[in-house]
Structure 1
C-alpha cells in the first residue's frame, strides 16, 4: 500500500482519489477550498459529451478567433496583451494542427470509454447528480456549419461514436420547446448530462468512506521529490502559522490551472493555460418556465453555447472561451449573450432569476489531457482536460491509477 498525495479537489482530483483508494492505497487529497468542486468543477455546462470531442486545433478556429478579437460578446475572445505563457501556448496550439484529426478521434474514443467508469461508480456509490440520459442535439444555423459537422462526424465515427443527422423537423420532434430557424442538426442519443458539482461531492464522500483523507482549506505552498519520497508543505486557511508538512511515496497533480506552477517545482513542463468559460443557471420558478425549458441537452455551433436541464427546476447554459490569464471576473458583457440565447431559443422561460458564474478551464495546447508520469519516478499528472474534464475524468483517473498500480482492467469499474 502506497501513501499517495493528490493535489486538487475538482473532478479530476476526486476521481483520481477514488480510483486510488478503491485499489487499496493510502490517499490524501489537498485542496485550497472549503469543499470539493468549488472552482472549474462548480457550474459547467453539464454535458457528458463524446459528441463534443472535436479539438480546436484547426485553421478555421484561428481565423474565427482573429475575426472576433474586437467583439466583447464573441464566443472566443483573446486579450491581445502579450505574455510569454500565452505566446508559448498559442505557438504550441498551432504546431498541433496536423494532429487535429487524430486527436479528435482519440478524444471521442476516450469519452465513450469514460462513460462506463463514471456511471458504474455513481451506481456503486449511490451518487445522485441529476443525470439525464436523453442525448445531445447539435444545432446548426447555416450550411457551412452543418457541412463542417459532417466532416467531424466521420472523425467521431472513427473513434466509435454514432451520431445521426437530423432535419429541422426532426430536431423539433426531439426537442419541441426549441424556437428559431435552423439548417439542420446532429443527434447523439448515447450522450448525457449531469451536475458536475453534485457528482464530485458525492464521489468525494464515497472516497472518504473508503478511507481517503481530504485536507480542505489547505493551499499547497511547495512540492518536492527526492526520487524516493514526496515532500509537501501547505498552509491551512492561508495562515503562515498553520503550516502543514508531510511526506508521501507518490503524488498525482490534478490541480487544474495551477498544475503548471506545481509541475515547475517538480522539474516538469506542463503548459496548461487558463481558458475562462461562463455559465448561467436559470431558476425555473414557475410551471410555465419548467414546461418551456428543454429536456434534451443542446450545443449551438454558431454561438458555441451548450445547455443542460439539471433536475426539474434548473436550466444551465454555458460556453464561450476567453484567453485572459488568471482573470476570474464575471463580466456582464460576456453573460448577456447567454441570457439572450435563452430568450431567443426558449422564449417561454423567464430569465428574471439567473445565477452567473465563470471558471478557468485548464487547457493543454494540443487539447489532450496530460495523463502520465513526470520526470521524477514518483510524480504523476492527471490534468489539462480543457472543456472535457467532466466527460473524460473517470477514464483518465482510472488510467493514472493503473500507471501507478497496474491491475486487471475490470477491477476498478
Structure 2
C-alpha cells in the first residue's frame, strides 16, 4: 500500500481516492471514512475483491507472523530455486527491482526478532478489528473458531518453532506445543499420519474465514455510510501536484477530448500487483490458492476440521478445503500452474 498527499503547507485534505477494492483498499476506505474524509474507491472490476482478495488460504493467523527476514530463509530460498514444488519460487533472471528488493530484504535480517514481535502484535490487533467490523456492519464471512494447528516432521523445524513461540508470547500471543498423539486428537483426519510428525503447535485464538465475503460485506456497509465506489472504472495513471492528485480514468474522454480525470487531495494505492507502478508515478515505492468443493459426504468426512499449516512446505488449509501455498517472484502473470 502506498499513500500520497500534496505538500502544500496548510492544505486541508478532505477528498481521498483509494485505488483498489480488495481487503486492503476497503478496510482503508472504512478507516478514512471514520476519520471524516470523503472517500472514493476505484477498481477496474465490476465487483469488489475480484483479484488478490478473491481467494486465499482463509486463515486469520497471528500464529503465522514470523517474518521471513533470516539467514535460514535465504539459504532455503537458494535451495528452493531448484525445486518446482518449492514454497518460494524466484526467477533467477536479474532485474533492478528484484535485486534492490532482495538487498532490502537482507538489510532487515538484523531486525528479525523485533520485527517478528511487532508483526504478531499487529496481527492480533487485525484479528480483533476484523471481528469488530463484521459485528458492526452485520455481515457473515464464514468465520470458524477452530484454532490453527502447525505440524512438523523435521526435529530442527520443530525446535525453531519452539523459539518462535517465545517471541510470539512476548508479542501477546499464546500457542502451545502438542504431541503427535494430540495432533491426531485435534485433527482426526491426520490420525493415520500422526506418527510422521515430531510435534506441532496449536493456537486456539486463531480462526478462519472467507476474505472475499468479508471484503464484499464491508464494502456494502461503508457504501451505505457514504463511501463512493467507482467499480468497473480502470485507473490509467496518477499524477500529483501542489493542488492535489489527478486520477486519470479509462472511461472515455471528457468534453475537451482529453481522458477523464478527477482531482483528489490525496490518494492511497491498494492495487495489488499494480501498486508498484502506480506508486512510481507518484514518486513513491510501495501465491496461489485453490478451493475444492467437496459435495459428497465421504470427502467432507475426510477433510481436515482444524485449519492446518505445514511450516516446512508453507501450505495452509482452511474451512472449505481451501489450500494456499507458494510465493513467486516472476513478473506479472495471472496464470495458475496446473501441476500439483
TM-score of the pair, normalised by structure 1: 0.75
Alignment partner, residue 141 of structure 2: 129
Contact 1:229 1:250 in 2 (8 A): yes
Contact 1:135 1:187 in 2 (8 A): yes
Instruction: Report runs of 4+ in structure 1 exceeding 4 Å deviation.
Output: none
* 1:307-326 equivalent positions in 2, closer than 5 A: 307-309=317-319, 314-326=320-332
Query: Deviations along 1:219-258, whole A, 9 cap, x unmatched?
Result: 21222222332211111399xx894311112212222222
* 1:209-224 equivalent positions in 2, closer than 5 A: 209-224=224-239
Q: CA deviation at 1:116?
A: 1.8
Q: How many residues align?
A: 323
CA distance in 1, matches of 2:331, 2:222: 33
Q: CA deviation at 1:285?
A: 0.8
Matched, 1:194 2:199: no
Alignment partner, residue 284 of structure 2: 268
Query: Deviations along 1:370-413, whole A, 9 cap, x unmatched?
Result: xxxxxxxxxxxxxxxxxxxxxxxxxxxxxxxxxxxxxxxxxxxx
Out of 63, 81, 86, the residue aligned to residue 51 of structure 1 is: 63
Larger radius of gyration: 2
Q: 1:5 to 1:176 in 2, by over 3 A?
A: same
Structure 1 unmatched ranges of 5 or more? 271-276, 337-413
Q: CA deviation at 1:61?
A: 1.0
Alignment partner, residue 98 of structure 1: 110
Query: Deviations along 1:307-346, whole A, 9 cap, x unmatched?
Result: 001xxxx31011111111112221123xx0xxxxxxxxxx
CA distance in 1, matches of 2:298, 2:271: 41
Q: CA deviation at 1:122?
A: 0.3
SS of match in other structure, 2:18: strand
Alignment partner, residue 251 of structure 1: 267
Out of 183, 188, 204, the residue aligned to residue 176 of structure 1 is: 188
SS of match in other structure, 2:111: helix
Alignment partner, residue 296 of structure 1: 306
Alignment partner, residue 407 of structure 1: none
* 1:309-348 equivalent positions in 2, closer than 5 A: 309=319, 314-333=320-339, 336=340
CA distance in 2, matches of 1:143, 1:152: 14
CA distance in 1, matches of 2:19, 2:40: 9
Contact 2:62 2:120 in 1 (8 A): yes
Out of 233, 241, 251, the residue aligned to residue 226 of structure 1 is: 241
TM-score of the pair, normalised by structure 2: 0.91
CA distance in 1, matches of 2:329, 2:206: 28
Q: CA deviation at 1:264?
A: 1.5
CA distance in 2, matches of 1:253, 1:78: 25
CA distance in 2, matches of 1:280, 1:251: 33
SS of match in other structure, 1:218: coil
Alignment partner, residue 205 of structure 1: 220
CA distance in 1, matches of 2:201, 2:252: 48
Contact 2:252 2:259 in 1 (8 A): no
